[in-house]
Amino acid sequence: MKTIFRISALAFLLTAASSPCFAMQENMEVSKERAKAMGVAIRSHTNGEAGVKVWIEFKTQGVLKNFARVELEMSAGGKHLVSAPLLASRPTADSVSAYFSADPVYLATSVLTIVAQDGERTRIGYRLKLRDFIEQEKAQ
């Protein structure tokens, strides 16, 4: 009897552990045209010794109305270098702005992700590859 109970308990735990996570984030790539339609603007300029300063600005409306955070990912040579949330500010009640500075060499492989709460336990990440938004010649 104890063996059947233990096997049943083990089967239950394995089934529960293999179910999908209760909080998920779905990521999608965003083209330059789609970003413009969403109200997202990315701009950059040289920032002295710090390299290039990159800003992302957008309105908290439409799919971004439940904005949660902006994340930065950098890689080089196929290796992951940095993942970090950016400090977002709200210049107005319905807009968000965030920025970072980096060496221009890393901008082509950098991605900004705008994360918005889609449901109680789900988020959507809108991934913007900076190589599509910043001209490399201007960045250098």
pLDDT digits (tens, 9 = 90+) for 41-99: 999 999 888 899 999 999 999 999 999 999 999 998 889 999 999 999 999 989 999 99
Query: What does the alpha-carbon distance between residue 110 and residue 73 come to, in Å, rounded to a whole number?
Result: 6
Q: Which helix (H) or strand (E) holds 58?
A: strand 52-59
> What pLDDT shows up at residue 15?
65
Check pLDDT > 60 for residue 20: no
pLDDT higher for 2 or 27?
27
Domain boundaries, the chain: 24-134
Q: Please provide the CATH number assigned to the domain covering 24-134.
A: 2.60.40
Check pLDDT > 70 for residue 140: no
Q: Which pTM was predicted? A: 0.79
**CB burial string 83-92: b at 16+ within 10 A, e below:** eeebebeeee
Partnered with residue 131 across adjacent β-strands are none
Q: Is the dihedral of CA 34, 36, 40, 45 positive or negative?
A: positive
Q: Which helix (H) or strand (E) holds 98?
A: strand 95-102
Read off the pLDDT of residues 99-118 as tens digits, 9 standing for 90 and up.
999 999 999 999 999 999 98
